[in-house]
Amino acid sequence: MRFEDLRLSEPLLRAVRTAGYNHPTPIQTSAIPHVLAGRDVLGCAQTGTGKTAAFVLPMLQRLSEPGHAPRSPGRVRALVLCPTRELAQQISESVTTYGRNSHVRQAVVFGGVRQGPQARALQAGVDVLVATPGRLLDLMSQGLANLSGVDILVLDEADRMLDMGFLPDIRRILHQIPKKRQTLMFSATMPEPIRKLADDILNQPVPVQVARISSPAPTVDHKVHFVRSPEKPALLIRLLAHTRHTRALVFTRTKRGADRLTKSLMQAGVRAAALHGNKSQGARTRALAEFRSAKTPVLVATDIAARGLDIDDISHVFNYDLTPDAETYVHRIGRTGRAGARGAAVSFCTDDDRANLRAIERLLQAPLERVGQPAGRVESAPHPRRPETARPAARPSGRPGQPGPAGHFGRPGRGRPGGGRPGSQWAGGRAHKGERGGRREG
Ligand code: AMP
């Protein structure tokens, strides 16, 4: 299958070529024709499958077709709702990339930043609005966002929005959107409340599913270390020092835990930053940008980063605190092994976590590989895609508070769409070397 076979318009095909994509991914092949035909779609797909393009490309095409009212001041023509600021930013970047030849005007609204520029963008009228529910409702309640002209609605990461308690907000927003519209809903998992929401808001949807529900990428190796809680920081530091990694994402259960661990890592000379909901938007953006560029190759995060983050070359995900929710495990490790690359998921299991571990193994239908205390052993590298650029992490320098040498081994982040993805199951080389696919870092 080629993109040309999907009947996408020439400006979109050119944008896809510029992004370096040679072939559509399975979710794109399945979803795009239905969206173009005006059908509602219920997509069950994990991030990393190319699902953003699966809805953005046909949505942009539909908006340019006759029969859809043109852009006008104060009007929003298509609305994409998603759970986190980071995801909103990423989707907006995808709209920029795929819409580069389509004269599309878009706005992105999320909390934690000034609302003035967002309100002004909305006043001017936008083709595509990407929003998190909280800030959008704020703007609506002040009369600054008018959704009465929305033709196309996308709910992305619907199950995550449910987990974050956004369901009432979503229903309030839906109330303000015309019933006659096209609705696309994507969710990595399909728990009962999501099915119910889908029944309520979708009109005879076409189901599109590309991966078994809650199945992780097959290219990820899963390991588990049994460890006592107080020994966890030292174990992580040792593993980071002895593991060939490009970027490592470390999940903690709490925000304070993330801060504490980041401090310990930095004191051990590991370049690390924390990402969680108590950080200012500026700090969150900076932490992500520095992780993308591998300036800070270790990011310690709460589950705010478990979904939607698309950063190339995350070679390792550490479940420093094992999650009590098995499906969250799948989302966390979905940050590595993306688009056909190899990845490693390393979990720490204390006595208290054993029931969680069993639940995860039940969901995966396979045991995680037991590794025991590594005591200086060398972890096998998950075949980094650019072995020539991967070097082992330097040993901790031990200078308190100083970012040590551990770390700048990966190539700089390439940006989200437009990666071309060497080693990917659907990659075929990049059309333009050096093309950053429209990502605005930071
Ligand atoms: P998503 O699942 O939308 O988060 O996309 C995951 C990654 O796949 C992003 O970096 C996209 O740029 C990339 N991608 C999307 N579609 C394709 C494609 N057809 N070929 C190669 N890479 C793609």
For 180-192, what is each residue's pLDDT tens digit? 999 999 998 888 8
Q: For ligand 1, is residue 291 a contact (CB within 6 Å)? A: no
Predicted local distance difference test score (pLDDT) of residue 278: 87
The share of the chain scoring above pLDDT 90, in percent, equals 56
Whole-angstrom CA distances from 343 to 117, 204, 216 are 39, 38, 11
Predicted local distance difference test score (pLDDT) of residue 435: 27
Residues 337-349, mean pLDDT to the nearest whole number = 85
Which of 98, 416, 439 has most ligand 1 atoms within 8 Å of CB, for mutation?
416
**Atom 15 of ligand 1: nearest residue by CA position:** 50
Could you tell me the residue ranges of all domains in the chain? 3-209, 220-393+400-424
Comparing 65-69, 364-368, 405-409, the range with the smallest average pLDDT is: 405-409
Q: How confident is the model at residue 342 (pLDDT cuts 50, 70, 90)?
A: confident
Fold match flag (3-209 vs 220-393+400-424):
yes
More confident residue, 429 or 97: 97
HSE of 417, CA atoms in CB hemisphere, 13 A: 30
What does DSSP say about strands 316-319 and 182-187: parallel, antiparallel, or unpaired? unpaired
183: number of Cβ within 10 Å? 21
Comparing 74-83, 137-146, 238-247, the range with the smallest average pLDDT is: 238-247
Q: How confident is the model at residue 431 (pLDDT cuts 50, 70, 90)?
A: very low
Distance (Å, whole) CA 52 – CA 97: 11
Predicted local distance difference test score (pLDDT) of residue 404: 28
Predicted local distance difference test score (pLDDT) of residue 282: 86
Q: For ligand 1, is residue 40 a contact (CB within 6 Å)? A: no
- Token pair 């799948």 is at which residue? 330
Q: For ligand 1, is residue 341 a contact (CB within 6 Å)? A: no
Domain 220-393+400-424 has CATH 3.40.50.300: yes
Instruction: From the CA of 312, give the closest atom in ligand 1.
Output: 10
Q: For ligand 1, is residue 48 a contact (CB within 6 Å)? A: yes
Comparing 66-70, 95-99, 166-170, 316-320, the range with the smallest average pLDDT is: 66-70
Distance (Å, whole) CA 98 – CA 14: 9
Q: For ligand 1, is residue 426 a contact (CB within 6 Å)? A: yes
Residue 80: phi, psi to the nearest 5? -115, 115
The mean pLDDT of the chain is: 81
Predicted local distance difference test score (pLDDT) of residue 190: 84
Quote the ligand 1 centre to 215 CA distance (angstroms).
Answer: 18
Residues 146-158, mean pLDDT to the nearest whole number = 95
Q: How confident is the model at residue 212 (pLDDT cuts 50, 70, 90)?
A: low
Residues 248-267, mean pLDDT to the nearest whole number = 96
For 159-203, what is each residue's pLDDT tens digit? 888 888 899 999 999 999 999 999 999 998 888 889 999 999 999
The share of the chain scoring above pLDDT 70, in percent, equals 81
Comparing 101-115, 301-315, 428-442, the range with the smallest average pLDDT is: 428-442
Q: Which residues pair with 347 in a beta bridge?
A: 224, 319
Predicted local distance difference test score (pLDDT) of residue 439: 27
Question: Is a pLDDT exceeding 90 seen at residue 240?
Answer: yes
Predicted local distance difference test score (pLDDT) of residue 134: 95
Out of 159-163, 389-393, 408-412, 423-427, give the one with best mean pLDDT.
159-163
HSE of 93, CA atoms in CB hemisphere, 13 A: 21
- Token pair 């097959």 is at which residue? 218
Comparing 202-206, 207-211, 274-278, the range with the smallest average pLDDT is: 207-211
The CATH class, in words, for 3-209 is alpha beta
Residues 57-84, mean pLDDT to the nearest whole number = 89
Residues 309-326, mean pLDDT to the nearest whole number = 87
What's the pTM value of the predicted model, to 2 decimals? 0.65
Quote the ligand 1 centre to 32 CA distance (angstroms).
Answer: 14
DSSP 229-273: GGGHHHHHHHHHHHSB-S-EEEE-SSHHHHHHHHHHHHHTTB-EE
